[in-house]
């Protein structure tokens, strides 16, 4: 059974609810005040009533103007700060987040865990531990919507977008596409299954044997010829990929970028976009040669090189 729509599965969801209800309360107070004044005045000053009608002064006075402008500006700044501080918290995931790849296509969700386990339209994830979704689309724009976590993020073809969460309540929740993506859009739904960490590892272990992503990526790295240039003993002048992932890279045009999944993806598909300082742009583009699934595997392999190469 799926829990009801407004179920809360994380502490973050609770803070969004507080924000939402605070906004509704503020709006309700303002609407009520305006409404009372409208009704009150239309009765008191109706045609024919003998209420006192003095001529109004031209201006209410400088102090009052400044006072109420400052007060409303302050109220709006406070609301901005409240919302922005919650959104900023969502931008940078904790370093130890468990990474799950999401590939959206008309009309399903394909998910892949780092040990290679694949799922369709079901996302199993542990509670009490940060989980990051690295998402892309095979065709049109979709949107990952996890109402119980109060998270929604567009999923775009040709690039990665991310969300992360730390859930705290095991259960089965909705997962759906929130961007109209074609005739079967309304059926692009699934289930988010949150489990205690023990149940989650038991579930992972019970899945059919799968090669982990990094291992499949390593095989691809060889069969596609990446290793011909990138191996340490290669005759071609190409960067050693050990320790690249998760670290700043200096580019030939002077920019410094962080080597995240999106950067590695672009290195493979659009090698001329970010050329590493000190190297020639000789790497061929693999656009059209590698599928989204294979890119995920190559990225997992490059990421595994980071862990071998450096102590942190």
Q: Which of 244, 296, 300, 305 binds ligand HEC (CB under 6 A)?
A: 244
Q: What are the C-alpha distances in Å from 162 to residues 80, 133, 138?
A: 23, 6, 16
Q: Which does 181 bind (CB under 5 to 8 A by kind): ligand HEC, Cu ion, none?
A: Cu ion
**β-pairing verdict for 122-126 and 98-105:** unpaired
Instruction: Enumerate residues 196-215 that contact ligand HEC by CB under 6 A.
Output: none
**Whose CA is closest to 303, among 164, 128, 93, 95?**
95
The whole-angstrom separation of Cα 268 and Cα 274 is: 10
Tell me the residue number closest to ligand HEC, measured at CB: 226
Nearest distance in Å: CB 308, ligand HEC: 15
Nearer to ligand HEC, 102 or 283 (CB): 283
Q: Does residue 279 touch ligand HEC according to CB under 6 A? A: yes
| Among ligand HEC, Cu ion, none, residue 79 binds (CB under 5-8 Å by kind) | none
Q: What is the DSSP string of 14-44?
A: HHHHHHHHHHHHHHHHHHHHHHHHHHHHHHH
- What's the closest the beta carbon of residue 271 comes to ligand HEC, in angstroms? 4
Helix axes 62-89, 11-44, angle to 10 degrees: 160
User: Least distance to ligand HEC from the beta carbon of 178, Å?
Assistant: 32
247-266 footprint of ligand HEC as x/- string (CB under 6 A): --x---------x----x--
CA distance 114 to 260: 16
Sole window of 4-12, 76-84, 181-189, 224-232 interacting with ligand HEC (rule: CB under 6 A): 224-232
- Range list of β-strands (E), the chain: 98-105, 108-113, 118-120, 122-126, 131-137, 142-146, 151-155, 161-165, 171-177, 189-195, 248-250, 256-258
Which of 8, 105, 142, 265 is the binder for Cu ion (CB under 5 A)? 142
CA atoms within 13 A on the CB side of 94: 9
Q: Which of 175, 192, 298, 305 binds ligand HEC (CB under 6 A)?
A: 298
Binding residues (CB under 6 A) for ligand HEC: these are 224-226, 228-230, 236, 238-239, 241, 244, 249, 259, 264, 267-268, 271, 275-276, 279-284, 286, 298, 302
């Amino acid at each position: 059974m799926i829990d009801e729509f407004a179920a809360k599965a994380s502490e973050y969801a609770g803070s969004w609810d507080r924000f939402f209800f605070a906004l509704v309360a503020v709006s309700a107070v303002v609407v009520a005040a305006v409404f009372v004044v409208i009704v009150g005045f239309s009765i008191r000053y109706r045609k024919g009533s003998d209420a006192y009608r003095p001529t109004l002064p031209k201006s209410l006075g400088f102090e009052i103007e400044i006072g109420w402008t400052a007060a409303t500006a302050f109220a709006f700044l406070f609301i901005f700060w409240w919302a922005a501080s919650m959104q900023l918290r969502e931008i940078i995931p904790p370093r130890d987040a468990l990474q799950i790849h999401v590939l959206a296509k008309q009309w399903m969700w394909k998910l892949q865990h780092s040990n290679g386990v694949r799922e369709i339209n079901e996302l199993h994830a542990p509670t009490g531990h940060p989980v990051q979704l690295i998402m892309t689309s095979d065709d049109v724009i979709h949107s990952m919507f996890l109402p119980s976590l109060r998270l929604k993020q567009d999923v775009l073809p040709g690039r990665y977008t991310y969300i992360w969460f730390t859930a705290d309540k095991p259960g089965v929740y909705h997962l759906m596409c929130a961007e109209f993506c074609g005739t079967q859009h309304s059926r692009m739904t699934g289930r988010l299954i949150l489990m205690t960490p023990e149940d989650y590892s038991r579930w992972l272990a019970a899945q059919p044997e799968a090669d982990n992503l990094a291992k499949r990526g390593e095989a691809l790295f060889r069969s596609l010829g990446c290793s011909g240039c990138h191996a340490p003993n290669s005759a071609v002048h190409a960067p050693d990929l050990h320790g690249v992932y998760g670290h700043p890279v200096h580019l030939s045009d002077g920019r410094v970028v962080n080597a995240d999944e999106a950067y590695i993806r672009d290195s493979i598909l659009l090698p001329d976009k970010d050329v590493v300082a000190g190297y020639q742009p000789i790497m061929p583009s693999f656009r059209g040669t590698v599928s989204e699934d294979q890119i995920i595997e190559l990225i997992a392999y490059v990421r595994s090189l980071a862990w071998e190469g450096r102590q942190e």
